[in-house]
């Protein structure tokens, strides 16, 4: 027995985790090294035990009934795109483009997840939803960045920081390299890893994924703050002169990456933290809402709202009182991210069906019911720390369509997000002067416009004015046509 093995075994026994070495005698030397490396690098038994107890205490504590404390966002901190004039929006757009032109804007993409619910183990950003172009989520977002830089003019770069996980990092990096970063300079794209946390059973004992491998899971999208510091990104922001960050999840196919209206609004309001929301129109829609609670801003999960609160409507316009639907779309200043980098984030317990190796039998088990927990942090849990918080309400049909499920689910799936792209792009053509956009023989409106041609519907008059289109329609940018 090596000294290293003995030291680790002693620590595991101290914290009731010695079962992790149950198969030591049957492991190969390579497997033993792999196990010891993972136990040394990613398993701090004392910290994990404290985190488990803290998470379980939060999960089992009696929650304060928020329903009597909730207030909708104050109007001076909230702007609806639908209610703003085109002149107001254009003013904000130009303010955002000015920041992009000056190189002060960066994007943080939350891309640590796999497409498990889509039936894929690949990084979700690589997923192809079968648009006519065959473009993945990553490619669509990269091309929106390229087009936005072109619209801004000048030499400003939008620095792209992509947060991966241990499960997606290598494959994501290979994917970008194989595709030449989709036309962006390689040094403009920075991948960094979020941390992983061991999965545990309901008693806090760590689960084995293999006889030589601990079961782990990413620490949630709230792991962004620690990762930005630990991976040196905060220092890189300073060196690059990036002052404003747009952070969003990878699975929103309609995402307006580095939206200049959003950036411009937050900068004009001198916000250190902001959120883009969509109007929640159905009381039972499974989406959290951004509210004010005791003078602080936070996301209240839909499950925490009473039926009376969820159904409450404004007497003036009939809209839901609490309708600021959260869609994981955020603005931060670099100084805010540095200020809160060491904040101890709340831990949330997610009960999951976690495959594991039974230490009694050595068999790998795929449970049919939740058998353990993953401890996660949420990105929006820093909202109460903001000194100047604002919200912008975008139009759902223009800004939000999430890819989460296989087509069998019928919602938030490849066919639904394709349909949302087609409807939006058809609307762009009509607005640009197209006489008509007719359906194909199969009654589908397959209509795709490349981000390299238009970021948000602008600049289509030359291609669309006075024209009739019959689907399928696929309009490409000049760079793409030259490459064909």
pLDDT tens-digit series, residues 463-482: 999 999 888 889 998 777 55
What confidence score (pLDDT) does residue 177 get?
98
Q: Which residue has the higher pLDDT, 441 or 454?
A: 454
Tell me the pLDDT tens digit for each residue of 116-165.
888 888 999 999 999 999 999 999 999 999 999 999 999 999 999 999 99
**Average pLDDT over the chain, rounded to an integer:** 92
Tell me the pLDDT tens digit for each residue of 398-421.
999 999 999 999 899 999 999 999
CATH 2.10.10 domain extents, the chain: 410-483
Residue 240's pLDDT band, with cuts at 50, 70 and 90, is very high
CATH 3.90.550.10 domain extents, the chain: 62-404
Whether 441 shows a pLDDT value over 70: the answer reads no
**What is the reported pTM?**
0.92
Tell me the pLDDT tens digit for each residue of 165-189.
988 999 999 999 999 999 999 999 9
Tell me the pLDDT tens digit for each residue of 33-63.
999 888 877 778 888 888 888 888 776 665 5
In three-state form (DSSP H/G/I as H, E/B as E, the rest C), the secondary structure along the chain is CCHHHHHHHHHHHHCCCHHHHCCHHHCCHHHHHHHHHHHHHHCCHHHHHHHHHHHHHHHHCCCCCHHHCEECCCHHHEEECCCCCHHHHHHHHHHHHHHHHCCCEEEEEECCCECHHHCCCCEHHHCECCCCCCCEHHHHHHHHHHHHHHHHCCCCCCEEEEEECCCCHHHHHHHHHHCHHHHCCHHHEEEEECCEEECEECCCCECEEECCEECEEECCHHHHHHHHHHCCHHHHHHHHCCCEEEEEECCECCCCCCCHHHHHHHHHCCCCEEEEEEECCCCCCCCCEEEEECCEEEEECHHHCCHHHHHCECCCCCCECCCEEEEEEEEEEHHHHHHCCCCCCCCEEEEECCCEECCCCCCEECCCCCCEEEEECCHHHHHHHCCCEEEEEECHHHHCCECCCCHHHCCCCHHHHHHHHHHHHHHHHHHCCCCEEECCCCCCCCEEECCCCCCCCCCCHHHHCCCEEECCEEECCHHHHHHC
Residue 370's pLDDT band, with cuts at 50, 70 and 90, is very high
Whether 74 shows a pLDDT value over 90: the answer reads no
Fold of 62-404: Spore Coat Polysaccharide Biosynthesis Protein SpsA; Chain A (3.90.550)
What confidence score (pLDDT) does residue 344 get?
87
Choose the weakest-confidence range: 105-109, 257-261, 330-334, 369-373: 369-373
Whether 484 shows a pLDDT value over 50: the answer reads no
> What percentage of the chain reaches a pLDDT higher than 70?
96
Domain 410-483: top CATH class: mainly beta
Average pLDDT (221-230) is 95
């Amino acid at each position: 027995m090596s000294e290293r093995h003995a030291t680790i075994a002693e620590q595991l026994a101290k914290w009731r985790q010695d079962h992790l070495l149950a198969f030591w005698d049957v492991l190969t030397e390579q497997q033993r090294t792999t196990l010891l490396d993972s136990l040394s690098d990613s398993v701090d038994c004392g910290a994990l035990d404290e985190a488990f107890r803290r998470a379980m205490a939060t999960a089992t504590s009696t929650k304060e009934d928020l329903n009597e404390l909730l207030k909708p966002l104050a109007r001076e901190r909230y702007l609806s795109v639908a209610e703003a004039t085109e002149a107001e929006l254009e003013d904000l757009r130009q303010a955002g483009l000015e920041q992009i032109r000056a190189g002060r804007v960066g994007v943080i993409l939350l891309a640590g997840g796999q497409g498990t619910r889509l039936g894929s183990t690949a990084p979700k950003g690589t997923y192809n939803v079968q648009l006519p172009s065959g473009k993945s989520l990553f490619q669509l977002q990269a091309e929106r960045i390229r087009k936005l830089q072109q619209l801004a003019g000048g030499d400003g770069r939008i620095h792209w920081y992509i947060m991966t996980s241990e499960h997606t990092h290598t494959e994501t990096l290979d994917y970008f390299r194989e595709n030449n970063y989709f036309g962006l300079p390689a040094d403009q794209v920075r991948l960094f890893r979020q941390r992983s946390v061991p999965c545990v059973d309901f008693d806090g004992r760590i689960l084995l994924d293999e006889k030589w491998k601990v079961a782990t899971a990413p620490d949630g999208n709230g792991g962004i703050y620690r990762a930005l510091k630990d991976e040196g990104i905060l220092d890189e922001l300073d060196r690059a002169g990036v002052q404003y960050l747009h952070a969003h999840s990878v699975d929103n196919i309609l995402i307006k990456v580095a939206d200049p209206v959003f950036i411009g609004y937050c900068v004009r309001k001198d916000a250190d933290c902001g959120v883009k929301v969509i109007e929640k129109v159905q009381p039972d829609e499974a989406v959290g809402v951004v509210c004010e609670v005791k003078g602080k801003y936070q996301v209240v999960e839909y499950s925490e709202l009473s039926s009376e609160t969820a159904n409450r409507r404004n007497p003036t316009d009939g809209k839901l009182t609490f309708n600021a639907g959260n869609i994981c779309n955020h603005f931060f200043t670099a100084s805010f991210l540095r200020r809160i980098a060491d904040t101890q984030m709340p831990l949330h317990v997610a009960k999951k069906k976690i495959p594991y190796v039974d230490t009694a039998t050595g068999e790998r088990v795929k449970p049919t019911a939740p058998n353990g927990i993953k401890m996660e942090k949420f990105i929006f849990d820093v909202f109460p720390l903001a000194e100047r918080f604002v919200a912008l309400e975008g139009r759902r049909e223009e800004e939000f369509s999430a890819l989460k499920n296989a087509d069998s689910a019928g919602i938030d799936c490849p066919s639904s997000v394709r349909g949302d792209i087609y409807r939006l792009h058809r609307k762009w053509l009509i607005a640009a002067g197209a006489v008509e956009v007719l359906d194909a023989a199969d009654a589908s409106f397959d209509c795709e416009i490349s981000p390299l041609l238009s970021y948000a519907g602008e600049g289509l008059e030359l291609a669309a004015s006075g024209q009739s289109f019959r689907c399928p329609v696929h309009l490409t940018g000049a760079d793409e046509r030259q490459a064909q």
